[in-house]
A and B are shown apart, each in its own frame.
Chain A
């Protein structure tokens, strides 16, 4: 362990703003891109499902018309 205490770890020997800024930006961008990719996938699947439902309903309606 390179640090004696948690306070020490946070202080980074006086270089805290630089080290934590660089690491924080990296973490934000990596986590952000994962969240974005997940949201993108969910939204696409939702849209596809809505579209499938619409088409099924349209198909059923034409069936009814043809039957009548």
Chain B
């Protein structure tokens, strides 16, 4: 177990194993996203209440899932970095943050755009949208804090602490925003609140969610590899590697 963790922590080993894993995730992401998009856009029947505007769900929900999962992954990577001093974990956390912020933005934008046909307005202080907005601020905070330190190691550790503090707060924030929303707004028509969804509607959604997750893993592996090259550029194996590649 410990040997495995330390092996995983070696950038060189990670660089090798990720090269073998990455193509599979790229293929899975491309296939799932393609099939899910075509299915969701072309073949799923229109919703009886929302018409064709419900097709936004196929980008909104996966992005919202991923936005939250990436923050949790970032905090776990931060914990691994702080406890076992595994540098690769911090590199992964560093490259995850911008993607997480992008996913949060997609969820917010698609939610707002979806609001026009359903609510008649761009923005509603809906519980889900509000907690997404707060999540975006948390992402911006983590990215800004990492960049604010002159030494990379301090920035990494500070960002790890903030990510862990944030991940403890996310459920509290979500709960309090839900509570606040039910208090101030009578339960109105929520965008994704329907419980039962017919099979032909959620099957493409499942494909899209899996596709987004594969995309996240593939992109994180790829950018972590780049980060390894950047931070380990003085190491002999990196220089040898640079000379080999055409």
Contact = CB atoms under 8 A, between A and B. Distances in A.
Contacts of B238: 48
A22 B102 contact: no
A45 B229 contact: yes
B113 A37 contact: no
B51 A13 contact: yes
Interface in B30-45: 33, 37, 41-45
Contacts of A1: 42-43
A12 to B, nearest CB: 4
Given A18-B116, A25-B106, A51-B233, A40 B43 contact: no
Contacts of A25: 106, 109-110
B185 interface: no
Among B44, B55, B245, the most chain A Cβ lie within 10 Å of the Cβ of B55
Contact of B55 (A12, A14, A29, A55): A12
Category for how many chain B residues contact A: 35 or more
Interface stretch (B3-11, B148-156, B215-223): B215-223
Category for how many chain A residues contact B: 20 to 34
B109 A2 contact: no
B124 to A, nearest CB: 15
B106 A13 contact: no
Contacts of A41: 222, 225-226, 229
B215 A12 contact: no
A33 B219 contact: yes
Interface in A6-25: 9, 12-15, 18-19, 21-23, 25
A26 B41 CA distance: 14
A19 B239 contact: no
Interface of B: 33, 37, 41-46, 51-53, 55-56, 59-60, 63, 99, 102, 105-106, 109-110, 113-114, 116-117, 215, 219, 222-223, 225-226, 229-230, 233, 238-239, 241-243, 245
B56 A44 contact: no
11 contacts: A13-B46, A15-B52, A19-B52, A22-B109, A23-B55, A30-B215, A37-B222, A48-B233, A48-B238, A52-B242, A52-B243
A48 B239 contact: yes
A23 B52 contact: no
Nearest to A15: B53
B105 A21 contact: no
Given A25-B110, A44-B230, A19 B53 contact: yes
A18 B99 CA distance: 23
B234 to A, nearest CB: 9
A18 B117 contact: yes
A18 B53 CA distance: 7
A60 interface: no
Among A13, A26, A33, A51, the most chain B Cβ lie within 10 Å of the Cβ of A26
Closest 4 CB pairs of A and B: A48-B242, A22-B110, A15-B53, A13-B52
